[in-house]
Amino acid sequence: MAKHSAAGFMTRALHAEGHAKPMNAHTQPIFQTSTFYFDSAEHGADLFAGRQAGHIYTRIGNPTVEAYESVVADLEGGGAAVAFSSGLAAIYAALMSLLSSGDHVLSGDTLYGPSVNLIGQVMRRFGVESTFIDTSDPEAIKRGLRADTRVLFLETPANPTCRVTEIRKAAQLAHEAGARVVVDATFATPYFLRPLELGADISLHSTTKFINGHGDVVGGVATASPELAKTIRKFRTDTGACPAPMDAFLSLRGIRTLGLRMERHNRNALAVAQYLQQHEKVSRVYYHGLPDDPGHTAAKREMSGFGATFSFELTGGYAAAKRMLKGIEMMTLAVSLGTLDTLIQHPASMTHASVPEEIMRQQGLTPEMVRIHVGLEEADDIIADLEQALAKA
User: Which residues are the active-site residues?
Assistant: 59, 112, 184, 209
Q: For residues 200 and 182, give the distance between their C-alpha atoms in angstroms, rounded to a whole number.
A: 6
3-state secondary structure at position 136: coil
In the chain, the amino acid numbered 284 is R
Give the whole-angstrom CA distance, residue 329 versus residue 343. 11
Q: Is the peptide bond before 160 cis (omega within 30 degrees of 0)?
A: yes
Q: How many CA atoms lie within 13 A of 164 on its CB side?
A: 24
Pairing assessment for the beta strands 332-333 and 343-345 based on DSSP bridges: parallel
Q: 3-class SS at 363?
A: helix
Instruction: Report helix, strand or coil for 283.
Output: strand
Query: How far is the first Cα of the chain from the last one, in angstroms, to the nearest whole number?
Result: 53
Q: Measured between alpha carbons, how far is 22 from 90 in angstroms, rounded to an integer?
A: 28
Local structure of 244: helix, strand or coil: coil
| Sequence-separated (6 or more) residues with CB below 8 Å from residue 130 | 104, 105, 106, 107, 119, 120, 123, 124
